[in-house]
Chains A and B, each alone.
Chain A
Amino acid sequence: MTLDDLVMLDVLLSAMLLMLAIAALHSQSLRRSIILFIVFGLVTALAWARLKAPDVALAEAMIGSGVAGALLLAALRDRKPDSKATTERGRPSWQVLTVTYLVIGLALTASWAFLDAHQNQSGPRIGALVQSELTNSGVSNPVTAVLLNFRAYDTLLELAVLSAALLGVLALGPERAAPRIAGPVVTHLVAWLAPLLIVTAGYLLWVGAHAPGGAFQAGALLAAAGIIVRLSGKPQAGLPSGIRLRLITAAGCGVFLFVGLASMSGGASLLQYPADWAGTLILLIEVFATLSIAASLLLVYLGGQPDAWASGRERGHA
C-alpha cells in the first residue's frame, strides 16, 4: 500500500463521517437518525484507528456507539408515538440565519487557531515526558499509564462523575418496563454470546497494562453483556441486588480513593504510588473500576430505580 492509498482512505473516511453526521442530524425519522448515529460511531472508531489511537477506538465503538446507541433507542421506545415533542415546527428564518452565521464564524476561528497551532508547534510536548517516564509507571501502555498513574486524579474524578450521573438517573423515576420474553433463537444466541463477552472483558482488563484495553473498555463490554441478557427477557440483567449492588457501584471510586489515601501514609502525596507496587495497585484499581463502570452503565440503561436496587430496603413504599 502506497502513501497515496492511505491518504485516499482518510479522505474517504472523512467524507463518510461527514455524510453520516448530516444524515443523522437531519433525517426525517428519529429512529433512522439514531441508527445512523450508531453507524457514525463505528466509522469514527475506524478514524481513531487511523490516527493511531486504538484505546480510543475501542472505547468509541463500545461506549460512544454501543452504549449511547442503546440508551437512545431505549429512550425512543419510551416515547408515545403521538408525543407532542416529536411534532416538528420550523424556526423563523432570521433565527436560522443568525445561528448559521455565528456557527460558521466560530468554525472559521477554530480552524484558524488549529492550523496556526499545528504549523507553529515548537516547544516541549507532554507526550515526550510520558514516554520517558513510562518505565516508572508500572505499566507499559502509555494511555493506561496516563489514566491510572500520571493523571490518576482525573480518572478518580471521572468515576465520581459517573456515580453522580447514576444517582441522578436513580432519582428520576421508576425503572423502564422490562422487554417481553424473547424467542428461543435470541435466548440461545444470548446464552452463547454473554459468556464470550464476559471472557473478552476480562482479557481487555488484563491486557490494558501493555496493549490497547483497560478498565473502561472492559467495563463497557460487561455492561453490553448485561444489556443483551436483559433484552433476552431477564429483567434484572444479571445484576446482584440490594446492598451488593450498592457496594459494586461504589467500589470503583472507593478503592481508588482508598489506594490514594493509603499511598499518603508513606509520606508521598495523594495517588503517588510506591514504584515497586505501581503495577499491582493499578490492576487492583482497574478491577474494581471495571465492575463499577459496568454496573453503573447497566443501571443507567435500566433507568430509574430498578428492582435490584430497591430490594435492599423495605419494599413497603413501592
Chain B
Amino acid sequence: MLETSTLYGLLGIVLASLGLHAAILQRDTLRRILAINILGVGVFLVFIATAYNGPTTVPDAVPHALVLTGIVVAVAATALALALLRRLEATRETDDDQ
C-alpha cells in the first residue's frame, strides 16, 4: 500500500524534474521563471512529505518553517528576476530602434 508521504514525496521529485527540464529547454525567459517556480514547489513538496508522520501524529515543524521561509524567498527572487527581465526587454527595444 502506497503511503501518503511516499506519494507526495515522489510527486515532488517528478514536479521538480519537470520544472528543471522546462527551465533549461524553454526559450522564453518568462516561461523559464515560471518553470523555476514549479521546480521550487516540487522541492517544497519533498520537504513537507518527509515531515509527515501519519494522520494521527504531529508532523515535524522544522521543515514546515523552512518551506514557509522558502516560499517568501522564492517570491522575492521571482520579483527580482521579473524586474531584470523587464529592464532587459526595454534595453533590447532601444537597441532595435537605433
**Interface of A toward B, CB cutoff 8 Å:** 6-7, 10-11, 14, 17-18, 21-22, 24-26, 30, 33-34, 37, 40-41, 44, 47-48, 50-53, 55-56, 59-60, 63-64, 67-68, 71-72, 74-76, 78-80, 83-86, 88-89, 91, 95-96, 99-100, 103-104, 106-107, 110-111, 114-115, 117-118, 125-127, 130-131, 142-143, 145-147, 151, 154-155, 158, 161-162, 165-166, 168-169, 172-173, 216, 293, 296-297, 300-301, 303-304
Question: Do B65 and A84 touch (CB < 8 A)?
Answer: no
Question: Do B21 and A161 touch (CB < 8 A)?
Answer: no
Contacting residues, chain A, for B16 (C-beta < 8 A): 107, 110
> Could you list some 14 contacts between A and B, CB below 8 A?
A6-B4, A22-B18, A50-B4, A51-B48, A63-B71, A68-B78, A76-B30, A88-B28, A99-B24, A110-B13, A126-B62, A130-B62, A155-B69, A296-B76
Contacting residues, chain B, for A21 (C-beta < 8 A): 15, 18-19, 38
Main secondary structure of the interface of A (DSSP, over half): helix
Specify the chain A residue showing the minimal Cβ separation from B45.
Answer: A47
Question: Do A130 and B34 touch (CB < 8 A)?
Answer: no
Specify the chain B residue showing the minimal Cβ separation from A127.
Answer: B60
Known: A55-B68, A110-B17, A130-B60. 16 other contacts (CB 8 A): A10-B4, A30-B28, A34-B34, A41-B41, A51-B4, A52-B58, A53-B59, A63-B75, A89-B27, A110-B13, A114-B50, A127-B59, A131-B58, A147-B69, A173-B90, A216-B71
- Cα A248 to Cα B48 in complex, Å, equals 32
Interface size class of B (residues with CB under 8 A): 35 or more
Question: Do B17 and A64 touch (CB < 8 A)?
Answer: no
Does B93 lie at the interface of the complex (its beta carbon under 8 Å from any beta carbon of A)? Answer: yes
Question: Do A216 and B72 touch (CB < 8 A)?
Answer: yes
Complex partner residue of B28 from A86, A301, A303, CB under 8 angstroms: A86
Q: Distance (Å) between the CB of A203 and the closest chain B CB? A: 18
User: Which of B15, B82, B84, B89 counts the most chain A CB atoms within 10 A?
Assistant: B82
Question: Do A51 and B75 touch (CB < 8 A)?
Answer: no
Complex partner residue of A51 from B5, B87, B92, CB under 8 angstroms: B5
Complex partner residue of A85 from B4, B24, B30, B46, CB under 8 angstroms: B30
Do A162 and B86 form a contact, CB below 8 Å, given A25-B19, A127-B51, A142-B58? no
- Cα A146 to Cα B65 in complex, Å, equals 6
Specify the chain B residue showing the minimal Cβ separation from A304.
Answer: B83
Do A60 and B69 form a contact, CB below 8 Å, given A18-B14, A104-B17? no
User: Which of B44, B53, B79 counts the most chain A CB atoms within 10 A?
Assistant: B79
Complex partner residue of A10 from B7, B25, B45, B87, CB under 8 angstroms: B7
**Interface of B toward A, CB cutoff 8 Å:** 1-2, 4-11, 13-22, 24-31, 33-35, 37-38, 41, 44-46, 48-53, 55, 58-62, 64-69, 71-80, 82-87, 89-90, 92-93
Do A56 and B67 form a contact, CB below 8 Å, given A44-B41, A118-B9, A131-B58? yes
Do A165 and B62 form a contact, CB below 8 Å, given A63-B72, A114-B9? no
Do A30 and B31 form a contact, CB below 8 Å, given A130-B62, A155-B69, A172-B87? yes
Contacting residues, chain A, for B77 (C-beta < 8 A): 165
Q: Distance (Å) between the CB of A56 and the closest chain B CB? A: 5
Complex partner residue of B21 from A7, A75, A99, A168, CB under 8 angstroms: A99
Question: Do A143 and B82 touch (CB < 8 A)?
Answer: no
Contacting residues, chain B, for A40 (C-beta < 8 A): 38, 41
- Cα A76 to Cα B33 in complex, Å, equals 12
Q: Distance (Å) between the CB of A301 and the closest chain B CB? A: 8
Specify the chain A residue showing the minimal Cβ separation from B91.
Answer: A173
- Cα A182 to Cα B7 in complex, Å, equals 45
User: Which of A76, A104, A106 counts the most chain B CB atoms within 10 A?
Assistant: A106
